[in-house]
Amino acid sequence: MTIAVFPGSFDPLTNGHLDLITRASRLFDQLIVAVGQNTAKQGVFTPAERVAFIEQSIPDLPNVTVRVETGLTVAFMRQCHATVLVRGLRNSVDFEYEQGIAGMNHHLDAHIETVCLMANPQYQFVSSSLLREVAKFGGNLTTLVPVPVARALVKRLGSDEQ
């Protein structure tokens, strides 16, 4: 059985993330979505909120579980007996970034294989910073994030000037 891990901050969860989760769930026997904390960014939602958003959005994917990850992804993968690390690529900048991470992960554990999935073109422009900006000013996010996430983003970040 092949166990894969799809790590990310998922802050916020996007429809692009959900597309990648769905596609990866068809490729591997088990997929673990690992919700981590990006130490370089200020989070909008708690890890528990992010887990809940993902779980609410994937009820029809029985081979997918969601867990909070702290520490190195490689160590988390060892705990889960996972051998494949799934990453999404939107553009060449993502490729450069992921290439370095894949090299370090291979250095830390040569048994880990990184598989990159190309983002669906309709989501290639989506980033968490852009979503936060649109939410702050009350823009429509419903085609980019699940509806509960859109509501929560506007509630948490929306300006009083709307």
Q: How far apart are CA 86 and CA 11, in angstroms?
A: 17
For 52, other C-beta atoms within 10 Å of its C-beta total 16
- Predicted confidence (pLDDT) per residue in 114-151, tens digit: 999 999 999 999 998 899 899 989 889 989 999 999 99
Reading the block at residue 146, the tokens are 């699940």
160: pLDDT strictly greater than 70: no
Known binding-site positions for substrate: 9, 41, 73, 87
Give me the mean pLDDT over the 10-14 stretch. 95
What are the backbone angles phi and psi of residue 151, rounded to the nearest 5°?
-60, -45
Of the candidate CATH numbers 3.30.60.50, 3.30.470.10, 3.40.50.2000, 3.40.50.620, the domain formed by 3-157 belongs to 3.40.50.620
Catalytic residues: 17, 41, 90, 128
pLDDT for 128 equals 86
Confidence at residue 161, expressed as pLDDT on a 0 to 100 scale: 45
Band (pLDDT 50/70/90 cuts) for residue 39 is confident
Q: Please state, in angstroms and rounded to a whole number, the distance separating the CA atoms of residues 20 and 5.
A: 12
- The mean pLDDT value for 78-105 works out to 95
Q: What is the pLDDT of residues 42-89, one digit of tens each?
A: 789 999 999 999 999 999 999 999 999 999 999 999 999 999 999 999
Residue-wise burial string across 28-38, b where 16 or more C-beta atoms lie within 10 A, e elsewhere: bebbbbbbbee
Question: Helix (H, G, I), strand (E, B), or coil: what is residue 68?
Answer: strand
Query: Distance between CA 160 and CA 88 in Å, rounded?
Result: 35
d(CA 159, CA 123): 25
Annotated binding-site members for ATP: 9-10, 17, 88-90, 98, 123-129
